Amino acid sequence: MNASTTVQVARAAPPDLDELLPLMREFYAGERLPFDESVLRRSLAELWSEPLHGGAWLARAGLEPVGYGVLCCGFSLEYGGRDAFVDELYVRPAWRDRGIGNRVLDAMEARCRDTGIAALHLEVDHDNPDGRRLYARRGFVDHRRHLMTKWLDR
């Protein structure tokens, strides 16, 4: 890892799947989420099949994948139309504090603006103060609400 290595952030596509999956495995392990490669492969294929669903971005230092982000889109009357979630954002620990997460967020926000998305949301663990500070610096606001989920057909 060279401090002067240039990091590029670009939209990910199906040929990037084998670079994304190891990063996703690391992210899921750190977040204590179940990693099911077959589910992720199927979900990414669906995400890529319809641009209105959102997209994925891959950060590379040279040829090395060092981080990624996933944006998923929806619709909300409360937020005035199309909205989106930063569904996943991950930078490998050795590459953190170099602005890579910010650059991935910049790319996702640009996509949102280009496609008329009115609001961008995300969720962050209560025990992730670094993440909360990053997101607050970028203008994300804590609504003092709890995200609740009900799994359907699981």
Contact 94, 60 (CB under 8 A): no
Question: Residue 3 pLDDT more than 70?
Answer: no
Question: Residue 39 pLDDT more than 90?
Answer: yes
Q: For position 66, what pLDDT does the model report?
A: 98
Q: For position 84, what pLDDT does the model report?
A: 97
Lookup: tokens for 29 = 């392990």
> Who has greater pLDDT, 3 or 151?
151
In tens, the pLDDT along 105-115 reads 999 999 999 99
> Who has greater pLDDT, 26 or 127?
26
* pTM for this entry: 0.91
In tens, the pLDDT along 12-34 reads 999 999 999 999 999 999 999 99
At 82, the amino acid letter reads R
Please count the other Cβ atoms lying within 10 Å of the Cβ belonging to residue 34. Answer: 6
Structure letter (DSSP) for residue 149? -
Q: What angle do CA 112, 90, 14 make, to 5 degrees?
A: 65
User: If you average pLDDT over residues 127-152, what whole number do you get?
Assistant: 89
Task: Say how far apart CA 108 and CA 93 lie, in whole Å.
Answer: 21
In tens, the pLDDT along 44-89 reads 999 999 999 999 999 999 999 999 999 999 999 999 999 999 999 9
Set out the domains of the chain in order of their start, with CATH numbers: 7-137 (3.40.630.30)
